Amino acid sequence: MRHRFVARAAIAAALAVGATTAAFPQVYEVARLVPGSAFHGIHGLGFDKSGRLFAGSVAGAALYEVDRNAGTAKISISAADGGMADDIAFAPDGTMAWTGFITGDLYARKGDGPIRKLASGLPGINSLAFRKDGRLYATQVFLGDALYEIDVEGAKPPRKIMEKMGGLNGFEFGPDGLLYGPLWFKGQVVKVDVDKGDLTVVADGFKVPAAANFDSRAICGWWIPRWVNS
């Protein structure tokens, strides 16, 4: 009796497999609905003095140069040269600096000159900005939580200004010389006196503020991810 049951089950299974196979065509065609992007996730953006647009990608481990007229992009700095940029900033003299988020390194290059490593050992090094006098500042976010002044010559170790702010992300210096940016984990936008190490809240009540920027009229605005507030 048991053998008869097993035989019937085997026949039923074979018929089911055959029916399933017959339900799918043996010939198929793949259609590309949307062309792929040259990027693999974009984080930081920056324009140099000549108007060239650069885009950093942590996920893509590259720093791209974007041709806005042609709608194309090429890798300007690869992962081998520290291209894992979460943010990009330009100094008054045209020097480009960028952060290596996962590696914890911070790099700089003037024009087409050599790439210099200005700092290392800072995992989660995220946002950076030059002040008008050429001094450079950067923060750790997610893998750390601190604000540093970075030696633009790379000779001195980073100077820690403050820590445990709440994730100072996407910041920029205002016309008053103070550093404006959002605290990712506190839902606030703050201003920081980098010389005194003082932090003041200027706006509150956000879910996840991600960046603060000034327009051409020196008016400050902040960006909040839609996926958080939708």
Give average pLDDT by consecutive 10-residue segment, the chain, 230 residues: 47 49 67 76 86 88 88 87 87 94 93 94 95 97 97 96 96 94 95 97 92 75 43
Residue numbers of the domain that contains 201: 165-230
Q: What is the pLDDT of residue 214?
A: 85
Q: Residue 230 has what pLDDT?
A: 28
pTM for the whole structure: 0.78
- Do 155 and 52 fall within a single domain? yes
SS3 content of the chain, % helix, strand, coil (to 5): 15, 40, 50
Same domain, 152 and 191: no
| Predicted pLDDT at 15 | 47
Distances (CA, A) of 126 to 31, 140, 226: 39, 5, 21
Which one of 164, 179, 205 terminates a domain?
A: 164
| Whole-number pLDDT of residue 166 | 97
End-of-domain residue from the set 142, 164, 186: 164
86 and 143 fall within a common domain: yes
Contacts for 116-122: CB closer than 8 Å, 24+ residues apart:
116/154, 117/82, 117/154, 118/150, 118/151, 118/152, 118/153, 118/154, 119/148, 119/150, 119/151, 119/154, 119/157, 119/158, 122/148, 122/158
Q: Is residue 14 part of a domain?
A: no
Predicted pLDDT at 8: 52
In a domain, 186, yes or no: yes
| Residue 173 and residue 88 share a domain | no
CATH number for the domain including 66? 2.130.10.10
Same domain, 149 and 53: yes
